[in-house]
Amino acid sequence: MAALLVLAPFLAVVFLNLPHTRLGDRLALPAAALLCTAQAALATAAPQALWTRIPGLPAALDLQRLLGATYPVDALARVMYLAIALVCLCSALLARSAPSEAGQEFRFANLLLLILAGMNGVVMVRDLFALYVFLEITAVASLVLIVVERGRAAFEGAFKYMVLGAVATSLLLAGLALLFVVAGSTSFDVLASALGRGTPHPLALTGTALLLAGLAIKAGLVPFHGWLPDAYSSAPAPVSVLLAGVVTKTTGVYTLIRLVGSVLGHPDRLAPILVAAGLVSVVVGALAALGQKDLKRMLAYSSISQVGYMVLGLATGSKLGMAGAVLHLFNHSVFKTLLFVNSAAVERQAGTRDMDRLGGIGARMPVTGVTSVIALLSTAGIPPFSGFWSKLFIVVALWQTGHRAAAAAAILASVLTLAYFLSMQRRVFFGKLAESCAGLKEANGWALAPALLLAAITVGLGLSLPWLFQTFLLPLESIL
């Protein structure tokens, strides 16, 4: 079943690009949305046995057997499949919300399907080289999407993304090669066994450091974050949703969690490095967001800060910290996607994302305004929204594992988060209506649908979290 989540998007791209037909032009976005919906349903409701093998499927058609490998789908993988599907679905709906040039929707849908396949592959594989291949598929398709509108800002953002992406690729390949020399394999299981025997080889330590540095670039951790604000803010709205909502979380944060938890075994010497990287990202991202007047750039710096929380949870090494990191990863995919969807609606309706030129538009765009409040409260960790729980787990785990200064700093950074988001809400949605926004109207249904869906998930997850924690998140202890 896991292999199908990779093969189905690739086959959809092939079908949509068959020659001598214009059917693909009309089916591209609906096909992408349908695949995302099916994946979300499978990740949520499919029994574990179905992920291992589809009942009644002939052995000749068993993809995992034909590929000569098994891909265990654990609780962490299902969380990621769900997050990927939700964000890609919202991106497809947002792409449909605005008129575009002839063929642009078709091109976007094809690249979206490639990114979907690439991210599903990142989650599926348990081999470093295969992981690298799927990371590059995702990165190349993302790079093309950033420059789809061909503006100067888009090319600048894409150039930074390309340069730092090339650095990350070089670091990952070098680290992979060194670990292969030490272990004789790139399989997660073999590497974990080799790295867990006695004192690590100097080459293994060097390879591990290179891998972690490459993933830090992918995740946008400080000081490797230089590409992120420009890429997020200059990309078209549906692409910003993809990048901020799930691409950097899958290629950077998820991969970091998977490797540290399943391969490196969370060695004690790694904890101080992760705490320092997470704490610096939390604080620097929050302080940088405070000084922004461009709505999308503020959200980009906020993403850097929130990634820091995930790394802090990972640094604890405890089951509570790991559960908090994974939950915050999913929460961030939901509430940050919601904020970028709403920023796209504001920019499209008002013609600007300069917060100093906006004001009072909540009366004209009530759904956008209310869902933005839900998202910002969840981001700041205000109960009963889902972001409160994940931040609570992370802070408690930091305190329990002796990182009390980091726990206090994480709480203070949440206050900063609330401050810059309340400033955003006041400048954009509250107060007197700006003269330039006198004729403003609410966004259309294609833009409101993902906003309402994500807001409902934020509220519903927050209310149901105590049950979900016991039944779904705690089993992560047996995985990582």
Q: What is the C-alpha separation between 477 and 462, in angstroms, rounded?
A: 22
Q: Both tokens of residue 165?
A: 């992406």
Give residue 146's pLDDT band: very low, low, confident or very high (50, 70, 90): confident
Q: Is 431's pLDDT higher than 90?
A: no
Other residues' Cβ atoms within 10 Å of the Cβ of residue 229: 25
Q: What is the C-alpha separation between 337 and 13, in angstroms, rounded?
A: 25
What mean pLDDT is predicted for residues 32-46? 87
The stretches of 317-350 forming alpha helices (DSSP H) are 319-350
What mean pLDDT is predicted for residues 302-331? 90
Q: What is the C-alpha separation between 362 and 458, in angstroms, rounded?
A: 20
Q: What is the pLDDT of residue 479?
A: 44
Q: Is 473's pLDDT higher than 80?
A: no
Q: Which residues 6+ apart lie within 8 Å of 1 measured at CB?
A: 42, 46, 50, 51, 52, 53, 54, 73
What mean pLDDT is predicted for residues 214-224? 89
What mean pLDDT is predicted for residues 429-451? 79
What mean pLDDT is predicted for residues 8-34? 80
Q: What is the C-alpha separation between 391 and 289, in angstroms, rounded?
A: 19
Q: What is the pLDDT of residue 61?
A: 46
CA angle (435, 440, 441) in 5-degree steps: 165
Q: What is the pLDDT of residue 51?
A: 60
What mean pLDDT is predicted for residues 440-446? 79
What mean pLDDT is predicted for residues 326-350? 90
Give residue 6's pLDDT band: very low, low, confident or very high (50, 70, 90): confident
Give residue 96's pLDDT band: very low, low, confident or very high (50, 70, 90): confident
Q: What is the pLDDT of residue 48?
A: 63
Q: What is the pLDDT of residue 67?
A: 44
What mean pLDDT is predicted for residues 214-218? 91
Task: For residue range 262-278, list pLDDT tens digits in order.
Answer: 888 766 778 888 999 99
- Rounded to two decimals, what is the model's pTM? 0.90
Q: What is the C-alpha separation between 184 and 207, in angstroms, rounded?
A: 13
Could you tell me the residue ranges of all domains in the chain?
269-480
Nearest to 209 by CA among 174, 257, 161: 174
Q: Is 89's pLDDT higher than 90?
A: yes
- 13 vs 45: which has the higher pLDDT: 13
Q: Is 329's pLDDT higher than 90?
A: yes
What mean pLDDT is predicted for residues 443-463? 88
Q: Are 82 and 2 in contact (CB under 8 A)?
A: no
Q: What are phi and psi of 354, to 5 degrees?
A: -75, 110
Q: What is the pLDDT of residue 100?
A: 62
Q: Are 31 and 12 in contact (CB under 8 A)?
A: yes
Give residue 334's pLDDT band: very low, low, confident or very high (50, 70, 90): very high
Report the mean per-residue pLDDT for the chain: 83
Q: Is 74's pLDDT higher than 80?
A: no
